Amino acid sequence: MESLCPTFELSLTSKLLFSSPPFSSQPYHKKWRAVCSASSFHRTVKTDSKPQSVAPDFIKSIGKGVIGFAAAAATALSSLPYFDSPAFAEAITVAFPVSRAREVNTVQRTLVEAWGLIRETFVDPTFNHQDWDMKLQQTMVEMFPLNSADAAYTKISGMLSTLGDPFTRIISPKEYQSFRIGSDGNLQGVGIFINVEPKTGHLVVLSCIDSSPAARAGIHQGDELIEINGERLDGFDSEAAARKLRGPAGTSVTVKVHNAKNSTSDSSIRVVNLPRENIKLSPISSTIIPHKTPDGRQTKTGYVKLSTFSQSAAVDMANTILEMETEGVHSYILDLRNNPGGLVTAGLDVAQMWLDGDETLVNTIDREGNMLPINMVNGHALTHDPLVVLINEGSASASEILAGALHDNGRAILVGRKTFGKGKIQSVTELHDGSALFVTVAKYVSPARHDIDQVGIMPDVQCTTDMLNSPREYSLLKNKSSASSLEADSCILVAEHQLDVQQSTGTAS
């Protein structure tokens, strides 16, 4: 898709993206024939009698760019018969009144384009148990008397909301440009990842970038955003809220936040003025932690924090691993805590850096209920050193795909807390007017077929120090907390202990 999505100051589903095939301007080889008259616009939509597979494009890049999926996985994808269904071998003619307002007429074309993409790709073939063809005509009639493009886009958003999927949505050309900038790793804003909580519909903070204005102001993961610049956020999606948070460096934005974890306190709701700054999203931060094993040996543990699955994440990860290997690292901690996701391709590319052979990385489930495994082909890991992956409730989408791939293939132990639970993949298509359509095109389950959506992934070990095996071991690790703030992190301590266990027992990894 992520969504992802999890974007920056943007929706989990944005940065959490998930995947985005670079579809052509003639979506899915469709043949269009349009006849205009003074009062109506007839469009005939006919799919090819032999639909062509779009699976090779299923998990690729954002917009019109292409993110290199590792060659082995791309080969595995190329044979998948996606959307090969008789349901698409049919012609439909729809008629609707042409708006007299030029800008609304442009959005009418966008509506037909979005409707067609959803008709062919949306994961639920019942379209939330409604007549999707009739929905197009109803929306066109509602759009006809409008006078502005904004109002017309609102009608499209209303139509998409009837699908019952918060991750399927449309964003304006301006919003899409902001989204692409964020995916490239550069933006001007306050440093918040936000997401719509599916059960409540509230906008919640998934994480804050270290040292960002939001982090310095004491905004925390789980806080609910109530207002931005005095405007209530009821009914706002995460991208619309993110757009209000972003802005030129040097300006400021006022937010009202609710601390759900401290809801009984008088200070649970507060208003904070945040300066906007230039924020560089570097997806990787790393360091080498000197480590003394229980038998007295000095070793090196490579700590790698992956904050988001951006376009550069896989390349940066490979460079980091190779550099650490040359420096004599003996084990690794991969920190995916508060990583809201991003490009699915990046997650799969990173997974292959730790695995050998023809392992399954993830299983996708299409709209017909068919399970389609995505496998490596003759993979070669960059390192075979023991690995622990840190996860928590802020780990979502591509983070969950990566954690599941490494865990279910026996490559890593998971330490931390249960993940967010986003088991859906979105595609992103740039439409003719520069807007973008996000569509949930598949569900996914882990290689061992564990469901993730609204369930999450449970760690093997909770990151509490009382999980250590003996008082002596706990004391040895606890005494290291004065060395650095990183080593004072209880999850790091537990991860180091798990690495000691793997190395002492010769556990294969």
Q: How confident is the model at residue 163 (pLDDT cuts 50, 70, 90)?
A: very high
Q: How far apart are CA 465 and CA 461, in angstroms?
A: 10
pLDDT at 20 over 50: no
Question: What's the start-to-end Cα distance of the chain, in Å?
Answer: 29
Question: Is there a contact between 421 and 396 (Cβ–Cβ < 8 Å)?
Answer: yes
Scanning the structure block, which residue is given the tokens 């700054």? 277
pTM for this predicted structure: 0.66
pLDDT at 22 over 50: no
Characterize 311-329 residue by residue with b for buried, 16 or more Cβ atoms within 10 angstroms of its Cβ, and e for exposed: bbbbebbeebbeebeeeeb
Active site residue 422: yes
Cα angle at 463 between 460 and 469, to 5 degrees?
A: 80
Q: Which residue from 112, 121, 137 is spatially nearest to 82, judged by alpha carbons?
A: 121
Considering all CA atoms of the chain, what is the largest pairwise distance in Å, rounded to the nearest integer? 86
Strand partners, 451: 445
pLDDT at 385 over 90: yes
pLDDT at 487 over 90: no
Q: CB-based contacts of 357: which residues, under 8 Å, 6+ apart? A: 376, 378, 379
Report the pLDDT value the prediction gives residue 113, as an integer from 0 to 100. Answer: 93
Give tens-digit pLDDT for 404-463.
999 999 999 999 999 999 999 999 999 999 999 999 999 999 999 999 998 999 999 998
- Mean of the pLDDT values across residues 270-299? 86
Percent of the chain predicted with pLDDT > 90: 48
Scanning the structure block, which residue is given the tokens 């294969």? 508
- Mean of the pLDDT values across residues 17-29? 28
Q: What are phi and psi of 246, to 5 degrees?
A: -75, 155
Q: What is the mean pLDDT of the chain?
A: 76
Q: How far apart are CA 316 and CA 165, in angstroms?
A: 33
Give tens-digit pLDDT for 237-281.
887 888 899 888 899 999 999 987 766 666 689 999 999 998 877
pLDDT at 57 over 60: no
- Mean of the pLDDT values across residues 214-229? 91
Active site residue 490: no
Which one of 155, 422, 424, 443 is the catalytic residue? Answer: 422
E-only strand ranges, 197-311: 203-208, 224-228, 231-232, 252-258, 269-275, 277-280, 284-292, 298-306
Which one of 207, 397, 399, 509 is the catalytic residue? Answer: 397
Cα 24 to Cα 118, 129, 269, 431, 460, distances in angstroms: 15, 29, 47, 9, 44
Report the pLDDT value the prediction gives residue 184, as an integer from 0 to 100. Answer: 59
Q: How far apart are CA 370 and CA 349, in angstroms?
A: 24
Q: CB-based contacts of 49: which residues, under 8 Å, 6+ apart? A: 89
Q: What are phi and psi of 139, to 5 degrees?
A: -70, -35
In this structure, the strands spanning 461-462 and 413-416 are: parallel
pLDDT at 465 over 50: no
- Mean of the pLDDT values across residues 227-245? 88
Question: Is there a contact between 338 and 206 (Cβ–Cβ < 8 Å)?
Answer: yes
Q: How far apart are CA 187 and CA 184, in angstroms?
A: 9
Cα 4 to Cα 71, 203, 402, distances in angstroms: 22, 16, 13
Token pair listed for 15 = 């940065």
DSSP 467: G
- Indicate the burial class of 56 (C-beta count within 10 angstroms; 0-12, 13-18, 19 or more): middle
Q: How far apart are CA 391 and CA 338, in angstroms?
A: 8
Give tens-digit pLDDT for 315-344.
999 999 999 999 999 999 999 998 988 889
Report the pLDDT value the prediction gives residue 53, as an integer from 0 to 100. Answer: 29
Q: CB-based contacts of 166: which residues, under 8 Å, 6+ apart? A: 13, 196, 198, 201, 237
